[in-house]
Amino acid sequence: MVKLLFFTLLLAVSLHSDQSVLERVSALMEPKDLKAHKNLIDIVFKNKNKFLRNGRIDSVKVASTLKENGLLNLFFGRPTKIYLDFKTGGNGLFFTKLINDALRSLGYYRYLNLRASSNEDSFERSILINSEYAPDPVILSKVLEKIGCTIVNISREDKAHWRYEIDITNAKLDVPSINNSEKLKLRQSRNDYWLRLNSVKKIQLQSIQGNNWYPYVAFYDKHLHLLKIFKKDERTKKITFALPKDTVYIKISDIYQLANLRKGLNVITQGKNN
């Protein structure tokens, strides 16, 4: 009786696993492509256990396998409106910055924010891009993995509408890091300077000769909650800050234009024992 019960449960789990993998495949392909390539799909996804990770379907591995076998169609042949929905259980402000940086890494610099909503448990954001191809979910997953994010689920409403659920529990910004008692030279940049500070209590920012710097400096905690902003409408050569408690990130800019920092900046840090 016990053996029969065990076998029944094992069979149920196996059937559920098979069904879930095929459902995940279906969620990434158009119905006409599913029908046209049914035999190949059955062969490629025959071993369902290969697509499990910690007891759950690995959406990224499913997408990667489809891509390897020419079954993941991302191209339109002409500029098309592509809708991307992102969902996380983490902080919305931090998540927005992470997604913005990831999209830039993929070459998407222009997009329209359509919607953002949050509750106690989640944050959701929808954007619209105009492109001849949809973002590659496999490449996007690799970009996100580098900053500690994990894609939990991927699906598509249709060819031009994708949904992502992302875990950002261990996320961090992909920005230069500086430790206690170090000196770092920041070269000219088209974007604001971001730094991650490790065990730093004081920081000195030195404008390099040839600049006309009017400082804008913002301090954030690990979830990008704003702790303090410093602005000075006066040309500045050097300035030192005692960091607000819980500071992890710092953004350095100019109140008028980044061209005022065309020569870059020197950054010198001090720690608790200095």
Instruction: For the chain, give every residue range classified as CATH 3.30.70.
Output: 75-167
Is domain 177-270 given the CATH code 2.60.120 in the classification? yes
List pLDDT tens digits, range 69-100: 999 989 998 999 999 999 999 789 999 999 99
| Topology of domain 75-167, CATH | Alpha-Beta Plaits (3.30.70)
What's the rounded Cα separation, in Å, for the pair 221 and 230? 15
List pLDDT tens digits, range 169-199: 999 999 999 998 999 999 988 889 999 999 8
Q: Which of 231, 192, 235 shows the shortest CA–CA distance to 213?
A: 235
* Residues, the chain: 274
pLDDT below 50 — which residues of the chain?
1-18, 273-274
Tell me how crowded residue 33 is: count the other CB atoms within 10 A of its CB. Answer: 16
Entry pTM: 0.81
Query: Which residues are CB-neighbours of 167 under 8 A, at least 6 positions away?
Result: 88, 89, 90, 149, 150, 151, 152
Can you give the pLDDT at residue 49? 87
Instruction: For the chain, give every residue range classified as CATH 2.60.120.
Output: 177-270
